[in-house]
Amino acid sequence: MSASRASLDLAFELPEVETIRRDLEREIVGKKIKMAEAASMKCLRRYRNRKAFTSQLEGAKITDVRRAGLYLVIELSTERLLVVSLGSSGSPRRNANKNPTVAGTEVVISFTQYGQLRFVDADGTGQMFVVPCDDFSTALPDVAGLGLDPVATPISWTEMGRLLLQKDVKLKPLVTDDTFVVGIGDIYADEILFEAGLRFDRVANTLSTQEIRRLHRALVGTMHDAMKYRGTSVPERPFVDPFGQPGSYAGHLKVWGRHGDLSERSRTPIKRIKFRGRWTYYCDTQV
């Protein structure tokens, strides 16, 4: 997982991964794995052969589904963890056994009762692997350096302000840095900064108390609104939930991808600019 989300091609962000986690928690916790099959080695890059992966799943019961940053972590009764990295194209799907297998299905996990969990990843950017619980931090050392998680661990505006005022960094690179706050990329960064009324190139340690409060409110509010609408699916980065349904937050985006449209705040055209090699969308009202 890269420290800077905006430096990547559009990848899934926190609202999408948390939407998947919540669905899987409801759907598969308590299920016992009867069989696991892998179509290829595309998402099993830590293994020499498919059996080395699938044999660690068969017979295990799923006891929990949690999230570590943008990794999905499925706890097994065997004191092992099934770790899923979605990359920019991976998609866990909940299916009945009889459902047709769609193109790009890499892993199929069949349960003893009702259906399967399938991992669809046509582009091969995702990854799956199993680790003993005690080896999690060794297998994923980057998790230890992750920053704030506004969904898993609420933070006060005062604590966030203390951290901001220590940073002589422009806001968009800071907000998209996983070591400062987890799982925010181009889409949500632009939306958060618009809601806060702050420019992408404003330096963090110049913010006033009122601006810190606005940024905190915009960050938390945007994350929860996006989850309410089950994530953002756009042509540049299509997203579907475990039931194959697209997230609907794209219809609520106020600046991202809308250059030339009139800003709801100023009624002047939304602008875009190349910033650090990527498009950034903003409104003249941001300061």
195 CA to centre of own chain = 20
- What average pLDDT does the chain have? 95
- Is 190 found in the same domain as 84? no
pLDDT at 221 over 50: yes
Q: What are 259-274's pLDDT values in tens digits?
A: 999 999 999 999 999 9
- Is 127 found in the same domain as 164? no
- Is 90 found in the same domain as 210? no
- Within 10 A of 210 (CB to CB), how many other CB atoms are there? 9
Q: Which helix (H) or strand (E) holds 220?
A: helix 209-228
Q: CATH no. for residue 219?
A: 1.10.8.50
- Is 138 found in the same domain as 26? yes
How does residue 1 score in pLDDT terms, banded at 50, 70 and 90? very low
Total domains, the chain: 2
- Is 229 found in the same domain as 105? no
- Is 97 found in the same domain as 202? no
- Is 64 found in the same domain as 185? no
Q: Is residue 150 part of a domain?
A: no
**Alpha-carbon distance 38 to 105, whole Å?**
9
How does residue 11 score in pLDDT terms, banded at 50, 70 and 90? confident
**Alpha-carbon distance 142 to 28, whole Å?**
27
pLDDT at 15 over 90: yes
Q: What are 94-118's pLDDT values in tens digits?
A: 999 999 999 999 999 999 998 999 9
- Is 164 found in the same domain as 124? no
- DSSP letter assigned to residue 198: -
Domain ends where: 145, 173, 203? 145
CB-CB contact of 259 with 270 (8 Å): yes
pLDDT at 240 over 90: yes
Containing domain of residue 164, as a range?
Answer: 157-282
Q: What are 50-108's pLDDT values in tens digits?
A: 999 999 999 999 999 999 999 999 999 999 999 999 999 999 999 999 999 999 999 99
To which residue do tokens 């409110």 refer? 217
pLDDT at 6 over 80: no
pLDDT at 283 over 60: yes
- DSSP letter assigned to residue 206: G
Q: CATH no. for residue 9?
A: 3.20.190.10
> What does pTM read for this prediction?
0.95
- Is 264 found in the same domain as 141? no
pLDDT at 4 over 70: no
Q: Is residue 10 part of a domain?
A: yes
- Is 85 found in the same domain as 62? yes
Domain ends where: 88, 120, 145? 145
DSSP string, 64-105: EEEEETTEEEEEETTSEEEEEE-TTT-EEEEE-TTSPPPTTE
Q: Residue range 193-211: average pLDDT? A: 98
pLDDT score, position 9: 56
**Alpha-carbon distance 143 to 34, whole Å?**
30
pLDDT score, position 2: 46
Q: Please give the C-alpha separations between residue 175 and each of 116, 172, 181, 182, in angstroms, as whole numbers.
A: 37, 5, 6, 9
Q: Is residue 214 part of a domain?
A: yes
- Is 167 found in the same domain as 262? yes
- Three-state DSSP at 234 gives strand
Q: Is residue 230 part of a domain?
A: yes
Q: Is residue 222 part of a domain?
A: yes
**Alpha-carbon distance 187 to 167, whole Å?**
22
